[in-house]
Amino acid sequence: MDYEEQLILEEKESPVRKIIIFILSILLILMFLSYIVISFGVGDIIGGWAESSLIEGNSVEFNNGLIVFSDLVLEGLNEIYSNNKNYEFKVCLGGSLVDNVYSIDEIVYPRMYSQKYNLVVAEPCPLESLIDLHSHPLDRCIASQTDMENFSVLKLKNPDALMVIMCQENRINVYS
C-alpha cells in the first residue's frame, strides 16, 4: 500500500474516529460534572433553589397557604440571618392563622445551646408558635432527616405549625 492509498483509508476511517472521540469527550465531561455536583454540594444548592421561595412583598405562598410577615419581623429575620452567616440559628414565630393565612408579627428567641455551621441545638418552640424557623448554610434550603423528624414531633403537638428553613436573606423553604 502506498502513501496515497493510506491517506484515502485514513480519511474513510476519520468520521468513525471523530464520532468515537466526540462520545468519549462527552462521557468525560459528564463524569467531571457529576464529580463536581457530588463533591461540592451543587446538587443541594440546585435542589434548595428549586424548592425554596423568595419572600416578595413581605409574603410567600406555599402549597397549603400564605405567610405574611410584618415589616418588623422580616427586618428582624434578615438581620439575624446576616449576623449569623457562619452559624445556624433558630427562632419561633407567632401571630395569627385565619383561612391558611399565617400573619406573623412576633419573634421568640429560644435558648440556643449550640450553634455550628450546619447545626443548631435549641429549646423547642412554645406550643402556640405558628412557625419553627431555623437557618441553613447559604442556598442550602432542603431539610435534613433530623429536621423532618423534629418537625414530625412538632406536628403531633401543633398540627397548624410550619417548619421554615431560611437559606439566605428573603429566601425560605416552607414545610407544612
Q: Which residues make Cβ contacts (< 8 Å) with residue 69, sequence separation at least 6?
A: 55, 58, 59, 77, 104
| Three-state helix/strand/coil letters over the chain | CCHHHHHHHHHHHHHHHHHHHHHHHHHHHHHHHHHHHHHCCHHHHHHHHHHCEECECCEEEECCEEEEECHHHHHHHHHHHHHCCCCCCEEEEEEEEECCEEEEEEEECCCEEEEECCEEEECCCCCCCCEEEEECCCCCCCCCHHHHHHHHHHHHHCCCCEEEEEEECCEEEEEC
Q: pLDDT tens digits for 97-152?
A: 999 999 999 999 989 887 776 778 788 899 899 999 988 888 888 888 988 998 99
Cα angle vertex 85, ends 39, 91, to 5°?
A: 115
**What fold does the segment set 54-175 form as a domain?**
Cytidine Deaminase; domain 2 (3.40.140)
The mean per-residue pLDDT over the stretch 143-172 comes to: 92
Higher pLDDT, 8 or 30: 30
Percent of the chain topping pLDDT 70: 82
What is the pLDDT at residue 52?
Answer: 79
Any idea where the domains of the chain sit in the sequence? 3-40, 54-175
Cell of 99: 383561612
